[in-house]
Amino acid sequence: MRKLTYFIACGIDGFIGDPKGDATSTYQYVAGEYLEYLKAEYPETIAAHAWPVLGVDPDSPNRHFDTVIQGMNSYRLGLDIGVTSPYAHMREIVATRSLAESPDPNVELIADDLIGRVRELKAEDSPLDIWLCGGSTIAGELIDEIDELIIKTYPQVFGSGMPMFGAGFEPRDFELGTVRAFDNGVLVRTYTRKR
């Protein structure tokens, strides 16, 4: 069975952005050794329109994920600059009730039963997994479906903002896997859900 991986960036205090989800202050850290790591290990998680700017090889194969799920706030970041399919190299699913029609043939909209759709995706026969891109609301809705967390922690404190999970208090246990520190202060930790 395929895994649902929440591959997410946050500040030291666990917020993924300001109250509206803006995390542009962290973009300064996507450089050097850390950028090379992302390009080599997770090229599919870099939006296709940024590939030429960041030097991503357009023939890079998807290494971990063939499907991306995101909420409307995350998807809107691309829409606001005219990008209707930011991850055209994957199957894209956007959880939204505000869009009635998809602006791109590669983007599937889902308004109801997101958990059921994720379970269908997990049951598919594929060597690659499913990436939960964000944001907080759908991460909270899918928290019990998440099998793995890959948390990219940037060396900033936001003070307040959008939490990693928009969910009520209920402890859930994960086991620490790999930890990698980069020369610019970024830390990447992997956790697996304890069953």
144 pLDDT more than 90: yes
Order the strands of the 107-110 sheet from edge to edge. Answer: 107-110, 91-95, 65-71, 129-134, 4-11, 148-154, 187-193, 174-181
Residue owning tokens 């499907």: 67
DSSP H helices in the chain: 32-41, 51-54, 72-79, 114-123, 136-141
Cα-Cα-Cα-Cα dihedral sign, residues 72, 75, 77, 80: negative
Residue-wise pLDDT for 30-71, tens only, equals: 999 999 999 999 999 999 999 999 999 999 899 999 999 999
pTM over 0.75: yes
Task: Domains for the chain: give ranges and CATH numbers.
Answer: 4-193 (3.40.430.10)
Strand partners, 187: 153, 181
